[in-house]
């Protein structure tokens, strides 16, 4: 029987969330310390645990069928580098590992426009994405490749500015830098090998993708229950945006009030619940949904 080989980051920012989603999809792996492969008892799949930078190459040459990787890494290693002369299809944006690639300069310096980078040296681990951006803006600047701790290079006089991944902005701040331009937005993506995949694997990929979609759409979906007056049903639907048609059930010993159950596709805030209460709703419950197939 065929097995899907899935590449994930061995140890880093994407590892935990990727393993959690796979587990929610019914794929639990037996991971042993310092071992490259992990097997799965519940699904014909094996994991390959590698550095994120290596995932695009394994996908490109067909060593792995699927890979979870930051879009920034994929873009830098494959798309912008024209490394493999291949198009690696993104089959799902995963909605985690979100970050941006930004230009930053020492905080005491003035900044007016991207033209300020003319003639400057910019330290980065993403020279291909950066050069592409500079070219599109017709700015001549030098991208210097630095593998780690890019943020300390201006202090060391190695570079005038940096181009690095930013998430909260805390690292820039701690190093006396300020973000002046965002050049790329990224999140974790699921990619598929462009090498030909047999029918059996194709079926498994489609099934896994459907499960992933079920898990991802459940993340933004809530199950809301309350008791309310029948006459307020329309207003309740307006308050809960993205709601489907509610299920309405009679309540024992009440002719006006009914039990209302609604699947709501957006965040339900305290404010929303307070609005429902103002409409006379009682016993309002908001529950998370684990899996959701429409």
| Residue 167, contacted partner among Zn ion, ligand PRT, none, CB below 5-8 A by kind | ligand PRT
Q: Which of residues 120-159 bind Zn ion (CB under 5 A)?
A: none
Beta bridge partners of 261: 225, 247
* Residues 189-211 as b or e (16 or more Cβ within 10 Å = b): bbbbbeeebeeebeebbeebbeb
Residues near ligand PRT (CB under 6 A): 9, 12-14, 51-53, 70, 72-73, 97, 99, 164-171, 186
Could you give the CA distance from residue 169 to residue 178 in angstroms, rounded to a whole number?
8
- Rounded to 5 degrees, φ, ψ at 195 are -70, 155
Taking CB under 5 A as the rule, which mask of x and - marks residues 18-57 in contact with Zn ion?
Answer: ----------------------------------xx----
DSSP 8-state code for residue 251 = P
State yes or no: residue 13 binds Zn ion (CB under 5 A). Answer: no
In the complex with ligand PRT, which residue's Cβ is closer, 51 or 291?
51
Least distance from C-beta 177 to ligand PRT, angstroms? 10
Least distance from C-beta 9 to Zn ion, angstroms? 8
Q: Where are the alpha helices (DSSP H) in the chain?
A: 15-24, 55-60, 71-74, 127-136, 170-174, 199-219, 233-239, 270-278
Least distance from C-beta 181 to ligand PRT, angstroms? 15
Residue of this chain nearest to ligand PRT (CB atom): 70
| Residue 46, contacted partner among ligand PRT, Zn ion, none, CB below 5-8 A by kind | none
Rg over CA atoms, the chain = 25
Q: Using CB under 5 A as the criterion, which residues of the chain lie in contact with Zn ion when the complex forms?
A: 52-53
């Amino acid at each position: 029987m065929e097995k899907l080989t899935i590449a994930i980051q061995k140890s880093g920012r994407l590892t935990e969330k990727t393993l959690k989603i796979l587990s929610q999809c019914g794929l639990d792996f037996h991971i042993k310390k310092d071992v490259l492969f992990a097997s799965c008892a519940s699904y014909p799949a094996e994991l390959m645990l590698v550095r994120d930078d290596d995932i695009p190459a394994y996908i490109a040459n067909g060593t792995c069928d699927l890979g979870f990787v930051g879009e920034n890494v994929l873009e830098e290693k494959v798309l912008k580098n024209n490394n493999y002369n291949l198009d690696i299809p993104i089959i799902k944006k995963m909605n985690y590992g979100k970050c941006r690639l930004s230009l930053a300069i020492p905080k005491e310096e003035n900044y007016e426009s991207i033209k300020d980078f003319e003639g400057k040296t910019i330290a980065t681990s993403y020279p291909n994405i950066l050069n592409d951006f500079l070219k599109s803006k017709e700015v001549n600047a030098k991208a210097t490749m630095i593998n780690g701790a890019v943020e300390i290079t201006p202090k060391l006089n190695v570079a005038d500015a940096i181009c690095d991944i930013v998430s909260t902005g805390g690292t820039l701040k701690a190093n006396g830098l300020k973000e002046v331009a965002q050049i790329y937005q990224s999140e974790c993506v699921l990619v598929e090998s462009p090498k030909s995949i047999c029918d059996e694997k194709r079926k498994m990929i489609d099934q896994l993708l459907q499960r992933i979609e079920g898990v991802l759409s459940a993340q933004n979906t809530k199950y809301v229950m309350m008791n309310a007056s029948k006459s307020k049903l329309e207003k309740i639907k307006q308050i809960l945006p993205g709601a489907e048609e509610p299920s309405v059930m009679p309540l024992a010993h009440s002719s006006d009030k009914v039990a209302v159950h609604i699947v709501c596709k957006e965040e339900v805030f305290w404010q929303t619940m307070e609005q429902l209460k103002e409409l006379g709703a009682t016993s309002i419950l908001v529950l998370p949904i684990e899996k959701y197939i429409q």
